[in-house]
Chains A and B, each alone.
Chain A
Amino acid sequence: MTDLYQSQRMMRRMRQQALDRGVIAILDVGTFKIACLVLRFDGETRFRESDGIGSLAGQAGFRVIGAATTRSRGVAFGEIETMNETERAIRTAVQAAQKMAGMRVDHVIACFSGAHPRSYGLEGRIDLDDSVVEGGDVARVLAACDVPDFGHNREVLHAQPVNFSIDHRSGLGDPRGQMGNSLSADMHLLTVDTQPIQNLLYCIKRCDLELAGLASSAYAAGISALVEDEQELGSACIDLGGGTTGLSVFIKKHMIYSDAVRIGGDHVTVDISKGLQIPLSTAERIKTFYGGVVATGMDDREMIEIGGDTGDWEHDRRTVSRAELIGIMRPRVEEILEEVRARLDAAGFDHLPAQQIVLTGGGSQIPGLDGLASRILGQQVRLGRPLRVQGLPQAATGPAFASSVGLALFAAHPQDEWWDFEIPSDRYPARSLKRAVRWFRDNW
């Protein structure tokens, strides 16, 4: 645990270095595509601490100067499967984005969707030494959280304090400076499998890039696709990706739950391919051109030529009606949404004050999906598109880029995580000079 803690701190230092240099890259490693954005920061003056999150979530401080996307290779279920292939795809995307930006990037913030994310709610409680809460007390209360045993091959991806309470007063955003006898904190811990992270780190390292941050893509999609009051009042963002469907639940501007369903748009494509006996490429194409989930009478008459290149005329002249295509797609989409429903129910989404559900990701572009989703997930369903950020090319403003844009916002304005607070003095390694300094400061 301490290793990751240190490496997360190191990534934060990398991020700071990158901001000082003014350029940072965003890498969204997905199953279907790998997107790379190059951000240029014009300086910290544009978003000050005192402004809070600021207008447009503070993303006015950066500008997208390079954007590239390439077909993902060697990635399945949001996890890297064939390292060499993925490394090449990352290289392709990064190089194209660098070329567009005309600038070299050394630091990259990455997100991925797979690796079995699992959420834990942690609680910690301490008695305050003196009655005023200080920064060190926050660190102590976070350190006092009892960490569940999540297995030895799991790593903590996010550990965000979501709530503080002093004595009986709960719902505090920032307890520092307040008075009380005891301080308790709720923390949301997101763990993922170690192996996919290791693979991703290796690929990024092979591309001569420094990792300046890691995020879950469900979280990043939630940042960009949910508007501010949705984040405040409680909502779920469902990121329908290629290999996985990520979901993240937000309330009071904090993510409190995240999970992933390992079914996505690629499975729909595979269903079409198998059902109609056509190549995957054709299946993908007719899915994007003619796909849907609600069939009407008109669709029985709309014939789609699915073709083939066997030379057999009868085989190559096959057609299907759009209704048949919808008949293949709909059960799979329903399955995805029902899985999501099950996860949301398990997470207790029903208890949130507002239960807005936002569908985003490339899969959310299926026509009629919002109608189907509202039948399965509840009435408050809308389709979400990522926030508009400066300089983002028109072609990258679609819902498929929700997590890329969210990651850009994350890069500009990361939420406080556990490792952003000072290390409590009793956790310092022995014979640390800092510890001595700390001791002096505490006692004199």
Chain B
Amino acid sequence: MRSEPGFRGAGSRTPSPGAGDVPEAGWSGPDWAPFRGPEPEEDDIWVEAPDEDALLEPLGDNAEVWNEPDWTEPEHSGPGWAGPGAVSLEPAAAETGRAPRRQAGRRGLRGLFGAHTSDEERRDPAPSRLAYKMERLWLRPGLRRLVRIGLPMAACAMAASWYFSDETRRAEVASYVVTTRDWVQQRPEFMVEMLAVDGASPELTQAVREATQVDLPLSSFDLDLDRMRADIEALSAVREAQLRVRPGGVLQIEVSEREPALVWRSRKGLSLLDSEGVRIAGIEERGDWPALPLIAGDGANDAITEAMNLVAAAQPLQERFRGLVRMGERRWDVVLDRGQRIMLPESQPAQVLERLIALDEAHKILERAVTRVDLRDPARPTLRVAAASIDQLRAIMAGSIQKVSE
């Protein structure tokens, strides 16, 4: 039929029918291209318009709009129109299904031009004035948000306030909440069964256990770890404690003990001090801690840093070193064996001691019969010699005088 491509003229400028002519999404306009659609054949008279139908079907109401120029629809595919070949090819389509719809379309066109052939009117595709106004109202973003978010929220709030306006219901909900919370907290997953103390001596472990004051098993929600930590750290032998609830229901307490650094002989007896001067524990025997230096005197524990320095400075005298005595809570005496004492000044005692030791290494002062080395005034060191030695010295001196006088 119209098979010569050159004949089409203007038609060649229109989009060619078929695959290349897929409309964009949302647009399903009328098929304006007049040369579109299947080429009519003698026995196949564009009865099938499956593509157009498929395009129009899911659009619902809108399809009416796009469906508008009805002449693009094959109007005359009814039984009366289609040739015998078409009827035999598509009896179902000709008899049922599509036929009523086309009838309706035809009536619509007739109605447009004033020839009503049927009492069944085609639905007007135009929205009513009210529907149009409502649609435009609905397209206001503010109103949309109000209806979609504000209205449900307001409804929920109203329902909740109505529900809680009753006293008994409030109590019910509160008790339900409490019950549920307890039920969850008492679950075995949350129960603490065991207490484990790490890093402490057996005595301290016992003390820590007593200090924690918990009755196991207990829900981990009920454990007050901060209070327990404070209680444990209140023990004098504990420097630091870390508590955590391990999986498996174990309350793990990591304790770091204070290290004893000195033995302090005070009026209350012997006790151990750590390097910060904190009293760790009382002891019975000095001999139990032979490695630790001994300090004595009131207020010795307050000047513990100085004491440690002095102990370190007295290292060359280690063999003879007996201890340090705090005198008058202001200065130190170093006590050596054989009753020797080195009386140190208040200020810079360690340097003075070192100077004395240097002197001792040169002149062996401390090996002589000296009972006191008074260095309280570093500018004027004084020695106290033992009484027997004094006599001997005097005798020697007298002898020498005699020898001189002779």
Decide if A10 is an interface residue (CB 8 Å cutoff).
no
Decide if A207 is an interface residue (CB 8 Å cutoff).
yes
Query: Distance in Å from the Cβ of B69 to the closest Cβ of chain A?
Result: 6
User: In the complex the two chains form, is A95's CB within 8 Å of B132's CB?
Assistant: yes
**Contacting residue for B110 out of A92, A279, A385, CB 8 A:** A279
Query: Among the listed stretches A68-76, A338-346, A349-357, which one makes contact with chain B, having 4 or more residues with CB under 8 Å of it?
Result: A68-76
Q: Return chain A residues, CB-CB under 8 Å to B31.
A: 395
Query: Among the listed stretches B15-23, B146-154, B230-238, B264-272, which one makes contact with chain A, having 4 or more residues with CB under 8 Å of it?
Result: B15-23
Query: Among the listed stretches B71-79, B197-205, B278-286, which one makes contact with chain A, having 4 or more residues with CB under 8 Å of it?
Result: B71-79
Query: Among the listed stretches A47-55, A120-128, A288-296, which one makes contact with chain B, having 4 or more residues with CB under 8 Å of it?
Result: A288-296
Decide if B167 is an interface residue (CB 8 Å cutoff).
no
Closest to A85 in B: B126
Chain B interface, number of residues (Cβ within 8 angstroms):
57
Query: Among the listed stretches B5-13, B89-97, B217-225, B245-253, which one makes contact with chain A, having 4 or more residues with CB under 8 Å of it?
Result: B5-13
Could you say which of A71, A102, A305, A397 has the most chain B C-beta atoms within 10 Å of its C-beta? A71
Q: Return chain A residues, CB-CB under 8 Å to B135.
A: 95, 98-99
**Contacting residue for B10 out of A91, A208, A370, CB 8 A:** A370
Chain A interface, number of residues (Cβ within 8 angstroms):
66
User: A-facing mask of B101-113, CB < 8 A → 1, else 0?
Assistant: 0000010011011
Q: Return chain B residues, CB-CB under 8 Å to A104.
A: 136, 139-140
Closest to A316 in B: B80
Closest to A93 in B: B65
Q: Return chain A residues, CB-CB under 8 Å to B15.
A: 394, 397-398
Contacts A91-B132, A95-B132, A208-B136 given; indicate if A366 touches B35 (C-beta within 8 A): no
Decide if B27 is an interface residue (CB 8 Å cutoff).
yes
User: In the complex the two chains form, is B71's CB within 8 Å of A281's CB?
Assistant: yes
Contacts A385-B13, A395-B32, A396-B27 given; indicate if A92 touches B127 (C-beta within 8 A): yes
**Contacting residue for A302 out of B1, B22, B33, CB 8 A:** B1
Chain A 289-318 residues near chain B, CB threshold 8 A: 289-292, 294, 296, 298, 302, 304-305, 307, 309, 311, 316
Decide if B98 is an interface residue (CB 8 Å cutoff).
no
Contacts A88-B126, A367-B10 given; indicate if A71 touches B139 (C-beta within 8 A): no
User: In the complex the two chains form, is A91's CB within 8 Å of B129's CB?
Assistant: yes
**Contacting residue for A305 out of B30, B34, B76, CB 8 A:** B76
User: In the complex the two chains form, is B125's CB within 8 Å of A70's CB?
Assistant: yes
Could you say which of A94, A367, A371, A385 has the most chain B C-beta atoms within 10 Å of its C-beta? A367
**Contacting residue for A291 out of B27, B34, B81, B113, CB 8 A:** B34
User: In the complex the two chains form, is A398's CB within 8 Å of B33's CB?
Assistant: yes
Decide if A67 is an interface residue (CB 8 Å cutoff).
yes
* Complex Cα spacing A395 to B45, Å: 25
Query: Distance in Å from the Cβ of A226 to the closest Cβ of chain B?
Result: 16
Decide if A144 is an interface residue (CB 8 Å cutoff).
no
Decide if B133 is an interface residue (CB 8 Å cutoff).
yes
Chain A 355-375 residues near chain B, CB threshold 8 A: 362, 364-371
Closest to B21 in A: A394
Q: Return chain A residues, CB-CB under 8 Å to B62.
A: 96, 99
Contacts A92-B65, A288-B71, A371-B9 given; indicate if A298 touches B109 (C-beta within 8 A): no
* Complex Cα spacing A104 to B81, Å: 45
Could you say which of B21, B29, B124, B140 has the most chain A C-beta atoms within 10 Å of its C-beta? B29
* Complex Cα spacing A292 to B45, Å: 20
User: In the complex the two chains form, is A280's CB within 8 Å of B113's CB?
Assistant: yes
User: In the complex the two chains form, is A383's CB within 8 Å of B71's CB?
Assistant: no
User: In the complex the two chains form, is B9's CB within 8 Å of A370's CB?
Assistant: yes
* Complex Cα spacing A67 to B65, Å: 12
Query: Distance in Å from the Cβ of A376 to the closest Cβ of chain B?
Result: 15
User: In the complex the two chains form, is A68's CB within 8 Å of B10's CB?
Assistant: no
Question: Can you list 6 residue pairs at the A/B interface with Cβ under 8 Å?
Answer: A33-B69, A98-B136, A309-B80, A367-B11, A371-B9, A400-B32
Seen from chain B, the residues whose Cβ lies within 8 Å of a Cβ on chain A are 1-2, 4, 7-11, 13-15, 21-24, 26-35, 37, 40, 45, 62, 65, 68-72, 75-76, 78, 80-81, 83, 106, 109-110, 112-113, 124-127, 129, 132-133, 135-136, 139-140
